[in-house]
Structure formats: C-alpha cells, structure tokens
Amino acid sequence: MPAVAPPDDAARADARRHLEGLPLPSHALGRLADVAAWLAACQARSPARPPASPRVVLFAAEHGIAAAGVSAFDPAETAVRLAAVRAGTSPTNSLATVAGADVRVVEVGDGPSGRLDREDALTGEGVQIALAAGRRAADDAVDEGADLLVPGELAVGISTPVAVLVAALCAREPVAVVGRGSGIDDNAWMRKAAAVRDGLRRTKAVGRDPEGLLRVAGGADLAALVGFLTQAARRRTPVLLDGAAVCVAALLADAHSPGARAWWLAATRDTEPAQALALEILGLDPLLALDLRAGAATGALAAVPLVTMAARVAAGS
C-alpha cells in the first residue's frame, strides 16, 4: 500500500513555540507538551482543540485457539464480555463515561477462527472481509464526527495469536513473547508456548507479509484492527493505542501502510511482552504504566483525559 501522509509538522512546530512561550520553566509540562504538539499536528491547527467526540470501537471475534486451554477463561467468555458492553455494564463503559467517549462494537468473523497451531486462522477472503470491516468502522466514526479514536478487542485467547504475530514480525523465539495473558498458571503457559511455537513454525511460508500473517496466525478481530488503524491514519484522525493486541495490530498496520504510526499515541503499558516489543519497534513510549490485562480499550480510555488536559493547557482554556 502507498505510504500514509504525515501529520502537519508546521502545526507541531507552532504548538511547540506556543508552549515554550508560556510563563513556565523550560520543559515544565514534560509529556503533556509532547501530547499537545502531537494533537496539533494531527489536527493541522495550533493550538489543538481538546477532543470533543472520542469514540471507542471494539472488535469482537472468536479465536479457535482458545479451545486449546491457553487462557484462564472458557471460550464462551467472549460472548459474556460482548453482552456486558452492549448492556453498558463493562469496565469499558464505565471508563468511557468518565472520558466522554461513546462505545461501538463491531462483530467480525463467521464463528471461531481456525486453530493457528494446526491450520490457518482465516481464509484469504476472510482477511479481506475483516480488513474492510475495520476500514468501514473508521470511516463511519470519522464521518459521524469522532475526533479521537480508541480501538480495542474483546476476545478470549487473543494474546496467543498476538504472540505469534509479533514473534514472526520481529524474529523472536516463543519464550520471549509468551506472557501470562489473562493470568494463566504454569500449565496453561506451557500449552500457550507450544501453540505459539507451532503457529510460528507455520508462518515461515509467508515471512513478514502482513496479510499472510493475519491469514495464517491472526484472527478476524486482529485483521479488522489493522484495517481500522490504517484507515484512521488515511483519514488524518488521531488514535490512542491500547494493550498488546492493538499494539501488535498497529505494527502490522504500519508495515501494511508505512507512516501510519505517526497518527498514533501509545496510551498505556500492559503486562504482555508482545506489547513491549511492538512499542519498541514502533518507537512509541506509553503515557501510563497501569499493568492492565483487561484489554477492551480500558488502558487507552484512561489516557483520554490526559489528551484533553494537554490540549487545554496548550490553549490556555
């Protein structure tokens, strides 16, 4: 895909000059100044406007590998999480209320993906359908006035394909990328490590091709996240990245559409080694360190008020 146009460097520079002119010691605002300048560049105006319409978009799918005992939860828990979000009772809903964000859910995939340790997770057509669903979700959000996007996922077992994908992209061994995910015990960790090993072996045929990796070892939600992130960048809309699944999808998205990373800000560091590796490659330093495992955009939502604060300080409002 062609490279993504970058944010506005003139607006970024103007925001920096404005911040340096405030009656404060040099660098007094620390990372808040960085956030204000990034937002100004994304909006192509200085000072930046505080986000008025943040939107959370959660992608829901089922992962076949969840049946292999790689999670602390039963595969049926995905449907429970989805129902809680739709009912407005999940942690995501609570945090979104504080952040002033609305929440949308996009269901993708047709039943569980294939077990990545034994078979392809998706068909080639399935990858394209999920990518398109993600792009549509980004277009819908922007067309409806969203000015800050917060993507997330809901699936049980997703940290297993995430580990495979980051290991394949970054040439790492399974032991370096397999975390505790949902809080698994040692036996589940060994099952997960074996699944990642076998899935990683199966990715050799596609190398580092983003769409090939999504087909062999991804899932519909991960492919949709890639489509969402690339389209958000093409629509010149800032995005807050959440945990490991979103960050590894971002790594794939930037490989798919070079330059997309400039439109993203890492919100929080979670407990997964896959996220740390993805952020290192992307060159993004999270704003928060909350040791979250919840996913579902919870970490990124915690950073939305910080983005608003940064914009208000820069604007003097």
The mean per-residue pLDDT over the stretch 128-150 comes to 98
Please, what is the average pLDDT of the chain? Answer: 94
**43 domain-assigned:** no
**186 domain-assigned:** yes
The mean per-residue pLDDT over the stretch 279-300 comes to 91
User: According to the model, what pLDDT value does residue 315 have?
Assistant: 84
**79 domain-assigned:** yes
> Residue written as tokens 């400039």?
262
Q: What is the pTM of this model?
A: 0.96
The answer to whether 161 touches 109, Cβ cutoff 8 Å, is: no
Other beta carbons within 10 Å of 45: 14
The larger pLDDT score, comparing residue 123 to residue 316, is at: 123
**1 domain-assigned:** no
Range(s) of the domain holding residue 172: 53-305
Where does the pLDDT of residue 288 fall: very low under 50, low under 70, confident under 90, or very high at 90 and above? very high
**4 domain-assigned:** no
Please say if the pLDDT value at position 52 is more than 70: yes
**42 domain-assigned:** no
Distance CA 274, CA 174 (A): 10
The mean per-residue pLDDT over the stretch 124-135 comes to 98
How confident is the model over 1-13, as pLDDT tens digits?
678 999 999 999 9
How confident is the model over 81-118, as pLDDT tens digits?
999 999 999 999 999 999 999 999 999 998 899 999 99
CATH number at residue 227: 3.40.50.10210
The larger pLDDT score, comparing residue 289 to residue 221, is at: 221
User: According to the model, what pLDDT value does residue 301 have?
Assistant: 97
User: According to the model, what pLDDT value does residue 317 have?
Assistant: 62
How confident is the model over 61-76, as pLDDT tens digits?
999 999 999 998 899 9
User: According to the model, what pLDDT value does residue 2 have?
Assistant: 75
**16 domain-assigned:** no
How confident is the model over 171-228, as pLDDT tens digits?
999 889 998 877 888 999 999 999 999 999 999 999 999 999 999 999 999 999 999 9
**277 domain-assigned:** yes
The mean per-residue pLDDT over the stretch 291-316 comes to 91
How confident is the model over 257-277, as pLDDT tens digits?
999 999 999 999 988 999 999
Total domains present in the chain: 1
